[in-house]
Amino acid sequence: MANLKAAIKDLRQTKKRTLYNKAIKDDVKTLIKKTRKAIEAKTDDSKELLIKTCKKLDKASQKKVINKQTVNRKKSRLHLKYNASLETKDVKSATKKATPKKKTTAKKKTVKK
C-alpha cells in the first residue's frame, strides 16, 4: 500500500480511469461484434450499425481511450467487409450479366532453320 497522500490519490484516480476506459472499450467491442454479425447476415440495419460504430470509435479515439491508428484500422476493416457484402448482394440480386470472353491469341509458329 502507498504511504504518501499523493500516491494514495493517484491510486484512486487510476481505479476511476480504469473503470471509465473499460466501459468505453466494452461498448466499442460489443458494437463491433454486432456490426460484423449484421454485415455477415446482410441485414438492412447494417449501415446504421456501421455508422454508429464509427462514431463510437471516433469518440473513444478523441478521449484517448483507444489509439487513433487502431481506430482507423478497425473502421477500415469494417468498411471493407461492408462494401464486400454490398457487392455480393448486388451480384445476387442483379440478373446475370454477360461476362466478356477472353481473347485468345494465336500461337506463333516457330520456324526451324
Domains detected in the chain = 5-93 (1.20.58.110)
- pTM here is 0.72
Who has greater pLDDT, 68 or 103?
Answer: 68
Q: Which of 8-17, 58-67, 99-108 has the lowest mean pLDDT?
A: 99-108
- Mean pLDDT, the chain, integer: 88
Residues 6+ apart with CB under 8 A from 39: 46, 50, 78, 81, 82, 85
| pLDDT given for residue 13 in this prediction | 96
**d(Cα 84, Cα 79) in Å, to the nearest integer?**
8
Q: What is the mean pLDDT of residues 58-82?
A: 96
pLDDT higher for 14 or 112? 14
Q: What is the pLDDT of residues 89-102, one digit of tens each?
A: 776 666 555 566 66
pLDDT for 36-67, tens place per residue?
999 999 999 999 999 999 999 999 999 999 99
Q: State the DSSP string of 38-96.
A: HHHHT-TTHHHHHHHHHHHHHHHHHTTSS-HHHHHHHHHHHHHHHHHHHHHHHHHHSPP
Banded model confidence at residue 31, pLDDT cuts 50, 70, 90: very high
AA identity, residue 96: K
